[in-house]
Structure formats: structure tokens, C-alpha cells
Amino acid sequence: MFIKNHWYAVEFGHRVAQGPVLVRIHGHNHIVLWRSRDRAVNAWSDVCVHRGCSLASGAVVDNCLQCPYHGWRYAPNGVCVKIPANSKGVPIPENARIHVYPCLERYGFIWVFLGDLPTEQAPPLPELDGLEPRREVRAKGCKPVFGDFTWKASHERVLENGLDISHAPFVHSGSFGNPDHPEIPDFDLDVTRRDGHMVSVTASVDLESVPPSGFWRLISKRDHPRVPTTVGFYPPNVSMLIVRLPLGTLRLFSAAVPLTEHTTVSKFFMVRSFFTGAWADGDAQRRAYKIFLEDQPIVESLRPPLLPPEPSAELHVKSDAVQLAYRRWRQEQLVKGWVL
């Protein structure tokens, strides 16, 4: 199931530099991203209207995207402005234009509006907790690291896993989950709505920590207090995890991008407020990948592989409140008819 008429985080802004970048989105033609002279990112259908060649294989020439097959050039508004095979004075067909998707760059992500509504009627772009509303990832005193992780699973199963509080003591017992204390304290949902749309839902709990090992054991205190932890969902495809450690705060944001019905890539970045030197980046990335690798065999084995259409199709308990909020939001989109 793919929900339309929302701003999808589809790629990191820094990945779109000199040349075009291909993005695969289930339920749509492939999308090509490229920067024009003003540094704005353009999001287009990847299909040249002439013979269907992939524009992502082309090049940016004179502030245009040039098709690699016959050299047709398209301006940032998607209109063809040059056909090299034409003699001088031969007009360019009026319908020689590429479909253009509304596109924004914020919080380090490129967001593409996938739907058929006018953008003025679109739900608001999410505001990611703790980050400044800039093109790049920016949080005062913090350092980000970036990564991709591919799953053989639907993006909704991947997304829900990121909102699940109670699986940590079992799936992540080798990293941060404490299997000796699996109980989840009572918590409240914090739901934010703007212009009639849910734009975020978060929940915070204090989880039992596990004794650190290795280098972390040497620098940590002997007592191990509970760890304030927040999970959240930003429609339509971004999850958040915040862990407030004695050393500082970790924020993990992950965009679940559906490549196909059963394949997802998580575009994630982890922002830390401690050990902000480049020397710690490798360790931060390894820890992020370790979490995904622990989750992977579980998420890929879930049945049915696609999320059931009805929220009541699977059993829920109190600790599932964030996932259930996601499923209710999903049901709202079904009622609106915003589904492909």
C-alpha cells in the first residue's frame, strides 16, 4: 500500500551534487533529482518524453538536464529548450516537457510531494525534533552521520519497527536493550496536528539501561540510571528515536523509502551531542548499523509481509500505542482515498 498526497523524504540533500541522481519509489515512475544553477533541487519523472531514456544517466549542461540518448535538454521547469537534431528555426513541440514533482530540501532530506493535490492543499512538511529548519542537518553543538540500509520488507513494516518501544529488550539485548527488565512504563502520546493533519506523534519512556562494555565501561559511572527515550513518527515515512544518555543526546531519524512493495531502503542519520569530532564518526555509524542488523531478520520474517488494512487485524497492547497511532493515521488516509 502506498499513501499519496504527502511529502516523502526520498534522499539526502548532499547526495545530489554535480550530476543527476535516480530515486526509486514504489507506485511511481522512477524520479530523477538534480540541482540547477541556483542550487535548488529539481525532482522530475526520470523518463525522457522522446524515447523513454533514463534522464538520470544524463548530465547537467548549461543549467539544463540533458538526455544521454539524443541530447535533448530540459530547463528546470521541465520544458525542452533544445533538440540538437533539429535544424535552426524548427520549433520544439509544445508537449516536449517532463513531469515535475514539487520538491523541498530541509533537515538534510530532499522531500518530494507525491500526489495529485495542488501543493497549497498538501499536508505540512514535518518539523523534525531538535533540528533547525535548514537545508542541511543542523543542531547546535551536534554532529551527524549518514547511512543507507536495505530491507526485504515493506516500508510500513520497517516504519512500524522504528516506532516499537517494547522489542528492544529482546531484539537489541546485544546492544542497548535490557532483557532482565522488559516492562514498559505507562506513557502518554504527544500528537501534533496542523491544518487538520497529524504532523507528528511521539511517546517518551524511561527504560532500564544495560551495563556498558568496552570503552564505554571505562568512562561511564558505576550506577546506571534509567535512560529517557523517545520514539516518534512524522507522516508519511520518517521515524525518530531519541536516547538521552548521561554523556549527551542521540537522535536517529530514518526515512523508510519504498523501492518496491517488498523492498525498502532506510535513509538515516544519527545526530549526537557528544564526541562530536570526526574521530567518533565511524563508531557512531557502526552502532547505527548494528541496530538495523539486529532488527533485519525479525522485520523480514513478519507475516503477513504487508501490513493488514484494518488496524484491528492484529492484536495490540498498551505498549503498542505509537504503532497503533500510525495505523489510525493510515486508516484516515484510506478514508480520504489517498491510496495507490
CATH number reported for the structural domain that contains residue 279 in this entry? 3.90.380.10
Whether residue 130 is contained in a domain is answered as no
Q: Is 162 left (phi over 0), alpha (psi -120 to 50) or beta?
A: alpha
What's residue 253's pLDDT?
98
| 134 domain residue, yes or no | no
Q: Is residue 27 part of a domain?
A: yes
Q: What is the pLDDT of residue 181?
A: 86
Pair (156, 248) in one structural domain: yes
pLDDT at 221: 57
Are the CB atoms for 251 and 130 separated by under 8 Å?
Answer: yes
State the pLDDT at residue 236. Answer: 97
Q: How many domains does the chain have?
A: 2
Do residues 260 and 181 both lie within one domain?
yes
| Residue-wise pLDDT tens digits, 136-152 | 999 999 999 999 999 99
Residues 77 and 156 in one domain: no
Q: Does 116 share its domain with 164?
A: no
User: Which residue carries 488494512 as its cell?
Assistant: 309
Domain range for 234: 143-336
Taking the chain (340 residues) in consecutive chunks of 10 residues, what is each chunk's mean pLDDT? 95 95 87 96 97 97 98 98 96 97 97 93 94 94 97 98 94 82 93 95 89 58 76 97 91 97 97 96 94 97 93 90 96 92
Q: What backbone phi and psi angles, to 5 degrees, belong to 172?
A: -110, 30
Residue 113 located in a structural domain: yes
Answer whether residue 223 is part of any domain: yes
Same domain, 59 and 94: yes
User: Which of residues 73, 91, 121 is at a domain's end?
Assistant: 121
Q: Which helix (H) or strand (E) holds 149?
A: strand 143-151
- Residue 209 near residue 227, CB atoms below 8 Å: yes
What is the enclosing helix (H) or strand (E) of 300?
A: helix 281-301
Examine residue 128 and state whether it is found in any structural domain, yes or no: no
- 117 and 54, same structural domain? yes
Question: In this structure, are 323 and 206 located in the same domain?
Answer: yes
Q: What is the CATH number of the domain that holds 51?
A: 2.102.10.10
Determine, yes or no, domain membership for 158: yes
